[in-house]
Amino acid sequence: MNAAQLHLALNHLPGAALVFSLPFLAWGLTRKAQTALLLGLWLLVAGAVTAIPAYVTGEPAEELVEGRAGVTHALIEEHEEAAEVALPAALVVGVVAGIALALAHRGHARARTLAAAAFGLAVVTTALFVRTGHLGGLIRHDELRAGVAPEGAGGSGPAPGGEHDDDGERGHH
């Protein structure tokens, strides 16, 4: 397994853990369902822990895909910059969730308050991971980029608005 394959295998884990934590946390907080709340908190901790290898494998994966057709340095940089924001957010959420779990284990009254804070942070962090994942997908999935015609939508030429005049200049028809 090369670095790009490893990055692709790992990068879905933190986002999935965050997304799946939200309904459990919401249910646990609104219905006072302790088991659901604890599961949601454990998922946040798992999201934080798995965010580390997903981030660390990004640079070696970048080395493998740089220079390939359709891959631009700008796309990679935008994804990397998003990951540099998402990782610390995930780590903060993981720490807050871990403290909430420890307090809940001890029966501390502030566990629910900290769990509610973790939920709020998780909503924001989930959005950051969705954005980071989308930007990562743009690196190799040109069909996701604006201005790329779907396959079979008029041949293999440029997307609408991307036609060129006979002299190679972009035309505005």
In the chain, where the domains are located: 3-144
Burial class (CB in 10 A: 0-12, 13-18, 19+), 168: exposed
**Mean pLDDT over each residue of the chain, to the nearest integer:** 88
Q: What percent of the chain has pLDDT over 70?
A: 84
- Please, which pLDDT band fits residue 162 given cuts at 50, 70 and 90? very low
| Predicted local distance difference test score (pLDDT) of residue 30 | 97
The pLDDT tens digits of the residues spanning 36-93 come to 999 999 999 999 999 999 999 999 999 999 889 889 999 999 999 999 999 999 999 9
| Predicted local distance difference test score (pLDDT) of residue 26 | 98
Rounded Cα distance between 34 and 103, Å, is 13
CA dihedral 105, 14, 40, 104 (to 10 degrees): 20
Q: What percent of the chain has pLDDT over 90?
A: 76
Amino acid identity for residue 95 in this structure = V
| Predicted local distance difference test score (pLDDT) of residue 166 | 44
CA angle (53 as vertex; 20, 12 as ends), nearest 5 = 35
SS3 of residue 170 by DSSP: strand
